[in-house]
Chain A
Amino acid sequence: MRKSAKAFVTMALSASMALSGLGAAVPAFAEEKIDLSKAGVSEDTTEAPVEATGDQEITFVLSNQPDSIDPSYTNNSFASFVLANCFEGLVTYDENGEIAPGDAESWESNDDMTVYTFHLRDGLKWSDGSDLTAQDYVWTAKHVCTPDTTAQYLNMYTDYIVGCQEYYDSGDDSNFGVKALDDQTLEFDLKNTCSYFVDLVSMWCFNPVKQDTVETNGDKWTQSPDTYVCNGPFKMAEINNGESYVLEKNENFWDADNTTLQKLTFRYILDTSTALTAYENGEVDGIRSIPSGDLARLKAEDAGLKTTPNYGTVYYDINCSKEPYNNPNVRKALNLAIDRDELINNVVQLDAQPAYSWLAPGYVSNGKDITEGRSDFGLSEHADPDAAKAALAEAGYDDPSTFPTLQLSYYSDDTAKKVAEALAEMFETNLGIKVEVSSADWAVFYDAVQNGNYEVAAMGWSADYINPMSFLPLLYTNDVSNTIFYSNTDYDAIVDQARVESDPAKYAELVEKADETASNDYPVIPLYYKANSYLMHDNVSGYYMISNGNLYFRYAKVAN
């Protein structure tokens, strides 16, 4: 059909051309017009609820491997896919991104928000069929607060809950703030007022892990499906290291009746374009990382591109403890030398907002985003080479060529590589300094960053819970997540105040002040605020991604 139509057009064209040969002034082309009716075969986008038919199996491709899938240990966002689907915390998120009851049916706090009580459901079970009680939650809390666990989210306990720091330091549990009042009632005693504690317990470091398996197998309990006991909608069926995690439905899950999916495979294809090929051939149902060059095309073609806002920022860490980067003017120069607009539109090619602070917008208080109307800290979406050079001169480098060679490191990832190369070029041309670029595998890279063996390094932060408090500790002196080794006593004082503030308006004010205090020191190089894009075929429905990047498959259905 199409072919013959084309042939007809060509004939018509040549006929008109032949005719125009006679009368000179006529344009040689018959004017072709866009036929709007031809466009968009899938015009009705009203999503009819897809009926579950055929095999209920989904294969989703990930491109980065987590350092661990132990919820007590890791804080790596690459682990969220396994953890969000294998574990269920006290609370979880529903498809609107709002807190929903998880293992806990209900909860309440006392008036000054220092004691929270959670009531667990009846008949909760682990994936191996044994009973899950409030004691399991208490044991998990102690497990996280044991130095041997080396929990990366340790501060989520020690900063908020009574007795956790003491337990960590001396093993003294006499005053431990996580208590099981009975098998189904769990109480958290907090050090201070905390209005967002329920947001906090949605994090996976509060997910229960089973004492038996952790104690018998040590830190190897996550390495075999038999010992990986969990309590979420899915349980581990196969672990193929470096290749895939195969999850199957957990019949012992409290809400198993509403879980239709039988098998969920997370496959690792590190090369994003190979992953895209697999997706377009229908070999897999969805992919997490999309080659940036294909994003515009996939969007236009209606190929199943999903974009959800993310409460997160992509930035570059600057090692603030190292010469010459401990000088705010040097950091300012680096910040001024980059063109965020070019970076977003032409390098990563995303629909993203340029970032001037590490604190992402997205937290609404009193009907208004608390970052609304904040300063741009002297930065703009375009580079300002003159101001950048001036800042560098102020730092004592009148001649940029005397500046020591900047070591720019990034982790092995196609997009991270492009960004790093573009940044290196911007530093070299706009600032006139020398840059050396190097890369490493994520695990090696992150280890170096945590230990401060870097100068400027690719990084990003996705909030673990939707509250600015998930960003503020990143710059807090000696916080475990402070990988830039920034220290500012004024900032620390404001954050301390914000932690105990129960009045939302005052809280917002303090957050704004903290942001201003730190951002004027340019502790990091903010690039853009994140949005999550992934691909999923239309025959899959019911899954949802929330703004911390967790992708939930518990209600997913497949129509074959």
Chain B
Amino acid sequence: MENKWGKLKATNEDREKIWKKNRTFAGDVWFRFRHKPTALAGLIIIALLMFFAVFGPNFTDYSYSKQNLDVVNVPPRMRVYETADGEAYLYITQNMKLLEVSKDGHLGSQLEKVREDSGRYMTIFDYKGTEVALYYGQKPYLVADPETLVIYPHTTVWNHSYLLGTDSLGRDILTRLMYGTRVSLVVAFVAVAVNLIIGIAYGGISGYAGGNADQVMMRIVDIISTIPLTLYVILIMVLLGSGLKSIIIALGTVYWVDMARVVRGQVLSLKQQDFVLAARTIGSPTKTILFQHLVPNCMGSILVTATMLIPSAIFMEAFLGFLGIGLRPPLASLGTMCNDATENLRTCPYQLFFPALVIVLIMFAFNFVGDGLRDALDPKLKK
């Protein structure tokens, strides 16, 4: 077919042939999905976060529990003062001590305190045999020579030892974020798995069986969903003690309710259709009809519901962590990190900012993907 302008052979084959590329249903969905920028961005963010959480810890020198009490509450960007010999910087910690910082931003150790000179609003420290003064008579606090009162020149440097700073026990926030994200993603996937297994089976059976079975099963679902979810999860946590296992059990026992409702609704309308009747006529067993014919036909709604439930499960975990009934310390989750940070909110706001940012990113990403999937799967919204 080099020359499209040439004369065609008058065979049936060419006349009937569909020249446009044929797209499968999945291909069609993917086509529409990837033409929605927010959805694609969401997917990329999720991929990046997964990479961050799974492989990140291999690239850091710290663990989530490793403490260095010399460098508590050090931010990612520090205002530092250059020492008189010009070889290092000094950083004023939130605890009014002086911390040695190398020229390339690596943290050293705290300087030895020599004496307090409260009359002149100064604390005197010893730096390699010379005295330096931390002056707190005005804000921001200054580092100066105690004799001549000459203020050391100041500048700002990035913290190269701890890229996102340290928390109130001197642990690396970046590493803890990786583990925190990991916990969030584990919770997300557990929620999905529970939804897919229990929710679909329960909703499918209830919808297809109909009648009294449906009545009883749906009333049970009603009862479960009338109990406020937060309260229920807290009660389970009290019963089982805190820890990731209890969070997963707590979420797992209730998180399939919405999915069961959605699947039941779909199955109810689908089972009246002719292909089900046809399957029944040729003697297919109920199991085959349900899982081979009905469930694949509800896949659109199932996917959308699942992606929309993930962020709420993640948020629930973060929320429990924030209330202090989540993971056992020293394990990190985004919620417990936020909770730890609130105590020092005024002096170290960055400790709250980073975990909160990750929560926001996860929420956005999953919601965007869910939105994108819904639009892509819904034929009515097809342009």
Contacts and interface: CB of A to CB of B under 8 A. Distances in A.
B37 interface: no
Nearest to A424: B330
A25 interface: no
Contact of A38 (B138, B148, B324): B138
Given A272-B343, A424-B329, A300 B96 contact: yes
Q: Which 6 pairs across A and B sit closest by C-beta, in order of nearness?
A: A39-B137, A296-B96, A293-B344, A300-B136, A346-B69, A342-B69
A292 B167 CA distance: 13
A242 to B, nearest CB: 15
Given A32-B150, A347-B169, A422-B169, A296 B95 contact: yes
Interface residues of B, number: 43
A418 B66 CA distance: 14
A38 B153 CA distance: 19
Contacts of B73: 293
A428 B135 CA distance: 38
A343 B95 CA distance: 13
Contacts of A76: none
Nearest to A32: B151
A452 interface: no
Contact of B169 (A271, A294, A425): A425
A36 B122 CA distance: 10
B330 A425 contact: yes
B97 to A, nearest CB: 8
Interface string A270-285: 0111101100000000
B72 interface: yes
A560 interface: no
Contact of A34 (B142, B241, B343, B347): B142
Contacts of B348: 293
Contacts of B149: 33-34, 36
Contacts of B72: 346-347
B128 interface: no
Interface string A138-155: 000000000000000000
B168 A418 contact: yes
A40 B348 CA distance: 25
B329 A421 contact: yes
A292 B93 CA distance: 13
Task: Bin chain A's interface residue count.
Answer: 35 or more
Contact of B137 (A31, A38, A414): A38
Interface in A339-382: 339, 342-343, 345-347, 349
B131 interface: no
17 contacts: A31-B150, A33-B149, A36-B149, A291-B343, A293-B94, A293-B95, A293-B347, A294-B344, A299-B96, A301-B139, A345-B97, A347-B69, A418-B168, A421-B329, A424-B330, A437-B328, A437-B329
Nearest to B70: A346
A442 to B, nearest CB: 13
B329 A293 contact: no
Interface in A380-415: 412, 414
Contact of B347 (A33, A297, A422, A437): A297
A271 B352 CA distance: 15
A420 interface: yes
Nearest to A39: B137
A346 B95 contact: yes
A420 B340 CA distance: 13
A438 B328 contact: yes
Question: Which of A32, A292, A346, A438: most chain B Cβ within 10 A?
Answer: A346
B141 A294 contact: no
B349 to A, nearest CB: 11
B242 interface: yes
Interface in B203-230: none
A425 B149 CA distance: 41
Interface string B168-203: 111000000000000000000000000000000000
Contacts of B168: 292-293, 347, 418
B6 to A, nearest CB: 78
Contacts of B169: 347, 418, 421-422, 425
A467 interface: no
Nearest to B351: A293
B67 A273 contact: no
Interface string B336-360: 0000101111111000000000000
A86 B149 CA distance: 52
A305 to B, nearest CB: 13
A347 B73 CA distance: 10
Contacts of A33: 144, 148-151
A439 interface: yes
A272 B72 CA distance: 19
A436 interface: yes
A272 B95 CA distance: 17
Contacts of A437: 328-330
Contacts of B94: 293, 296-297
A513 interface: no
A40 B150 contact: no
A2 B148 CA distance: 24
A38 B141 CA distance: 13
Interface string B115-129: 000001100000000
Contacts of A38: 137-138
B65 interface: yes
A537 interface: no
Given A291-B344, A293-B168, A414-B343, A34 B135 contact: yes
A36 B169 CA distance: 35
A511 to B, nearest CB: 33
A425 B67 contact: yes
A300 B169 CA distance: 22
A417 interface: yes
A40 B328 contact: no
A288 to B, nearest CB: 15
A273 B329 contact: no
A40 B65 CA distance: 41
Given A34-B151, A300-B141, A40 B121 contact: yes
Interface string A17-53: 0000000000001011110101110000000000000
A425 to B, nearest CB: 5
Contacts of A342: 69-70
Given A296-B95, A346-B170, A420 B343 contact: no
Interface string B307-335: 00000000000000000100011100000
Contacts of B342: 271, 273-274
B67 A422 contact: yes
Contacts of A339: 69
Nearest to A271: B342
A417 B329 contact: yes
Contacts of A297: 94, 96, 347
